[in-house]
């Protein structure tokens, strides 16, 4: 970004070609967009739930009708392999068509009471600001917008400066229910925190950035603190809803299974789709000793055959990494893990803008005691680790030996899998299912350093709960 002209060049992540040059919002234009959102909040809040539902579906239909244009944007600005970009577009369309499942969650509901009638209403918060990531430039901005609007809120989307074009196209299709700010992330976050016009903040980011925003919120409130009469004080700053959807370091636990060929396909899909640039990617394989050797060899063979290259090519599996910092960090995590005793089974090569799909073998003791970075920190590149276990308790200890708790997947006998699921410190678990299984009916989110409160429905998070009791006539 040019600090003088305040423009940003959006580049094709494979060719490096400049595909767009956008004017970055000035501070005044950024605040003007927040102000416009604030002024629209009553109009949006007065829209009926069924009308909101139909509007969401209209946007979804437009996404489907213009899917090739949108897919091309994702391929170019985010570096997504075209087959993955099409999947993201289909998921977004599906979310819009079945959005009634989430709208129903904010409809008024009668609840039990000892006498009279009692109701729970969900009311809009006002203005929701959502900071969305580069790796999912359609599905996450759309989900955030649908949830915010479905709850009756005005929305300001702040997409990644590396991949803003898809979100701008979404806003074009959505019309007057959303504002989009092209603005640096750290500056935007600070503005959202300090603005009296913003009522809720949703952020998708790594966990350290998510915590940094909490620190900034504390600084903002501290700056509004005033003391009087020698001991009393007030804090005038506005309380805001904060919904951090943060990093994952997801384990895939494989028990004693029979169809190892199928499980190997599932494992490779879970860890390496979109070059491993997903918060819910499987990042740590924890495999029972009875199947470990054979499964490891199957996985190494399949990983070695993944095609790295042009994301426009239908046969490409691994596209470019959209951020040089992510490449640097993956390289550092790999070197640290090898220094800690890890053994590279396949891959291990970086050729910007690519990182070749890599699998590193660790023993259980090394993972638990030495805590190599590839094991304990999220890796946002196709670099994964694999460990052998002998007992369920060991598998549970390995899975939980990280500060993250977003999602896990388990494959094997149902009773054993359900027991392990009950012991995992994560917000979501899928058992014997596609590793990316998700639908509009499912809550999303993590615990520990992956989020606050575990899995939840964003539409509920972006509404206020109001209880009303009606007694007998007086």
Mean pLDDT along residues 428-443: 93
**pLDDT digit string, tens, across residues 162-174:** 999 999 999 999 9
CATH superfamily of 250-442: Aldehyde Dehydrogenase; Chain A, domain 2 (3.40.309.10)
Q: According to DSSP H, which parts of 305-450 are helical?
A: 324-339, 364-365, 373-376, 392-399, 414-423
Distances (CA, A) of 57 to 62, 124, 385: 9, 20, 41
If you search the block for the tokens 């969401």, which residue do you land on? Answer: 56
The mean-pLDDT minimum among 51-65, 73-87, 227-241, 356-370 falls in 227-241
Query: Residue 248 and residue 267: Cα distance in Å, rounded?
Result: 16
Q: Is 448 left (phi over 0), alpha (psi -120 to 50) or beta?
A: left
Going by C-alpha positions, the residue among 176, 142, 174, 177 that lies closest to residue 159 is 142
Mean pLDDT along residues 173-197: 97
Query: Residue 53 and residue 342: Cα distance in Å, rounded?
Result: 51
Percent share of the chain, pLDDT over 70: 99
Say what the pLDDT of residue 3 is: 41
Say what the pLDDT of residue 163 is: 97
Contact 1, 7 (CB under 8 A): yes
Say what the pLDDT of residue 458 is: 98
Say what the pLDDT of residue 231 is: 82
Say what the pLDDT of residue 322 is: 86
Secondary structure E strands in 276-327:
282-288
Please determine, for residue 304, whether its predicted confidence score (pLDDT) is greater than 70.
yes
Say what the pLDDT of residue 371 is: 97
Say what the pLDDT of residue 2 is: 40
**pLDDT digit string, tens, across residues 396-422:** 999 999 999 999 999 999 999 999 999
Mean pLDDT along residues 372-383: 97
Domain limits, the chain? 7-246+454-466, 250-442
Query: Residue 173 and residue 296: Cα distance in Å, rounded?
Result: 46
Mean pLDDT along residues 237-266: 97
Joined tokens for residue 187: 């500056």
Check for a shared fold between 7-246+454-466 and 250-442.
no
Query: Residue 424 and residue 430: Cα distance in Å, rounded?
Result: 12
Please determine, for residue 474, whether its predicted confidence score (pLDDT) is greater than 80.
no
Query: Residue 5 and residue 327: Cα distance in Å, rounded?
Result: 28
Contact 92, 433 (CB under 8 A): no
* Pairing of the two strands 354-355 and 350-351: antiparallel
Query: Residue 365 and residue 353: Cα distance in Å, rounded?
Result: 34
User: Average pLDDT of the chain?
Assistant: 96
Say what the pLDDT of residue 293 is: 98
- Does an H or E element contain 448, and which? strand 447-448
Joined tokens for residue 1: 């970004």
Say what the pLDDT of residue 392 is: 97
Mean pLDDT along residues 7-30: 96
Mean pLDDT along residues 44-64: 98
Mean pLDDT along residues 253-272: 97
Please determine, for residue 206, whether its predicted confidence score (pLDDT) is greater than 50.
yes
Please determine, for residue 216, whether its predicted confidence score (pLDDT) is greater than 50.
yes
Helix pair angle (165-174, 49-65), 10° resolution: 130
Joined tokens for residue 111: 């609840």
Domain 7-246+454-466 falls under CATH 3.40.605.10? yes
Q: Write the DSSP symbol of residue 196.
A: T
- Read off the pTM: 0.95
Mean pLDDT along residues 428-439: 94
pLDDT band for position 1 (cuts 50, 70, 90): very low
């Amino acid at each position: 970004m040019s600090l003088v002209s305040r423009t940003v060049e959006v580049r094709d992540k494979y060719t490096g070609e400049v595909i767009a040059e956008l004017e970055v919002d000035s501070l005044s234009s950024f605040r003007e967009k927040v102000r416009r959102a604030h002024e629209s909040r009553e109009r949006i809040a007065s829209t009926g739930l069924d009308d909101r539902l139909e509007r969401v579906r209209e946007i979804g239909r437009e996404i489907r009708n213009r899917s090739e244009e949108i897919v091309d944007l994702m391929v170019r600005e985010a570096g997504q392999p075209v087959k993955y970009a099409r999947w993201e577009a289909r998921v977004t369309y599906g979310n819009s068509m079945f959005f009634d499942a989430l709208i129903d969650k904010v409809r008024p509901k009668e609840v039990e009471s000892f006498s009279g009638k009692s109701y729970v209403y969900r009311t809009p918060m006002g203005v929701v600001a959502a900071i969305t990531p580069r790796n999912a430039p359609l599905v996450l901005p759309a989900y955030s917008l649908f949830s915010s609007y479905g709850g009756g809120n005005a929305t300001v989307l702040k997409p990644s400066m590396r991949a803003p074009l898809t979100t701008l196209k979404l806003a074009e299709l959505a019309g007057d229910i959303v504002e989009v700010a092209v603005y640096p992330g750290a500056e935007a976050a600070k503005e959202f925190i300090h603005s009296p016009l913003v009522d809720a903040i949703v952020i998708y980011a790594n966990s350290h950035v998510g915590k940094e925003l909490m620190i900034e919120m504390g600084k903002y409130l501290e700056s509004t603190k005033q003391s009087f009469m020698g001991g009393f004080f007030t804090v005038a700053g506005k309380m805001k809803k904060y919904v951090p959807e943060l990093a994952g370091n997801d384990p895939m636990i494989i028990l004693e299974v029979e169809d190892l060929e199928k499980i190997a396909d599932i494992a490779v899909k879970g860890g390496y789709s979109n070059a491993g640039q997903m918060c819910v990617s499987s990042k740590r394989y924890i495999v029972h000793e009875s199947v470990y050797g054979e499964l490891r060899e199957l996985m190494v063979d399949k990983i070695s055959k993944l095609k790295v290259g042009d994301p426009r090519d239908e046969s490409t599996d691994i596209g470019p990494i959209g951020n040089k910092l992510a490449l640097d960090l993956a390289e550092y995590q790999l070197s640290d893990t090898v220094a800690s005793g890890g053994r590279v089974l396949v891959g291990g090569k970086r050729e910007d803008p690519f990182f070749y799909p890599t699998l590193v073998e660790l023993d259980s003791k090394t993972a638990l005691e030495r805590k190599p970075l590839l094991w304990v920190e999220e890796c946002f590149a196709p670099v994964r680790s694999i460990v052998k276990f002998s007992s369920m308790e060991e598998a549970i200890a390995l899975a939980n030996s990280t500060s993250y708790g977003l999602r896990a997947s388990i494959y094997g006998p149902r009773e054993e899998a359900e027991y392990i699921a009950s012991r995992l410190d994560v917000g979501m678990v899928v058992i014997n299912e596609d590793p990316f299984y998700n639908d509009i009916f499912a809550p999303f989110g993590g615990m520990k350093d992956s989020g606050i409160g575990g899995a939840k429905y964003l539409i509920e998070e972006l509404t206020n709960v109001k209880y009303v009791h009606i007694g007998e006539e007086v």
